[in-house]
Amino acid sequence: MVELSIRNVSKVYETDGKSVPALEDVTIRITKRESVALIGPSGCGKTTLIRMIAGLEKPSSGEIRFHGKPLAGPDQKIMMVFQSFALLPWKTVYENIELALLDRPEDERRKLVNKYINLIGLQGFAENYPRDLSGGMKQRVGVARALCREPDILILDEAFSGLDQLTARNLQNEILRYYQNKRMKPDVLLLITHNIQEAVYLADRVIVLSHRPGHIKADMRIELDKPKNMRDRRFQDYVDEITSLIT
């Protein structure tokens, strides 16, 4: 199904003759369909870790394996959505999504782009340019662009933190509703956040990283009935537990 194995991974950046340890001895195994939130204080190495998972960066030590093989570089089955949207301003919504599929024949591209425009709530916006879209709609384009490759793993790096709370919650609910359809890719949602409520709300499993250099402080299952209710006592207990781990 899906197998991502991060084994004893550390990362040290060398800048201006100084060594900056960003991550220390991180081990995570994901072997089934689940949503995983990675949470930790700012600067603890979250982006560093997922850039390594996305094949954009190499570990200083340790190993990342995907489907049983060492990860050698970016893999089309692992897609990432950025906080900054990363849309091309001179291309329409349709064209921005299509960029992810340039290696596919045109009829297949058209089918996939239209499918994800509809699935992710962008109907009627295909011909718009990014400048005409709200932040929430821009981020939908980023999500649709990543999803249309039908990856095994979808990584969202603080993808909601540039949005106001209501817009963020709407988009999160849409992604959850979509993800609950177990026949659809991705198998794994990997969410990076520094918002504890967001982590407990979105994830089946929460991994807590320490201050820099990040190492794993806790790796816990969130055993709550779905749809999750933030007012539930047990929801708050998880939030409190994670809060005390971070502070």
Binding-site ranges for ligand ADP (CB under 6 A): 13, 15, 20, 22, 40, 42-48, 212
Amino acid at 116: Y
Q: Shortest gap between Cβ of 169 and ligand ADP (angstroms)?
A: 22
Distance from C-alpha of 22 to C-alpha of 32, rounded to nearest angstrom: 28
Is residue 47 close enough to count as binding Mg ion by CB under 5 A?
yes
Q: Is 77 helix (H, G, I), strand (E, B) or coil?
A: coil
Q: Minimum distance from CB of 162 to ligand ADP (Å)? A: 14
Which stretches does DSSP call E strand in 67-211? 69-70, 78-81, 153-157, 188-193, 205-209
Q: Which does 139 bind (CB under 5 to 8 A by kind): Mg ion, ligand ADP, none?
A: none
Q: Which is nearer to ligand ADP, 42 or 247 (CB)?
A: 42
> By CB under 5 A, how many residues form the interface with Mg ion?
2
Q: Give the span between the Cα atoms of 169 and 228, in whole angstroms.
A: 13
Q: Give the integer Cα–Cα distance in Å for 35 and 162.
A: 21
Interacting stretch for Mg ion, rule CB under 5 A, among 47-55, 183-191, 205-213, 216-224? 47-55
CB of 58 to Mg ion, least distance (A): 18
Binders of Mg ion in range 24-43 (CB under 5 A): none
Least separation in angstroms between residue 46's CB and Mg ion is: 5
The CA distance from 120 to 171, in Å, is: 9
Tokens of 144: 């649709």
Question: Which residue, 20 or 239, has its beta carbon nearer to ligand ADP?
Answer: 20
Tokens, residue 122: 């962008």
Q: Which residues bind Mg ion (CB under 5 A)?
A: 46-47
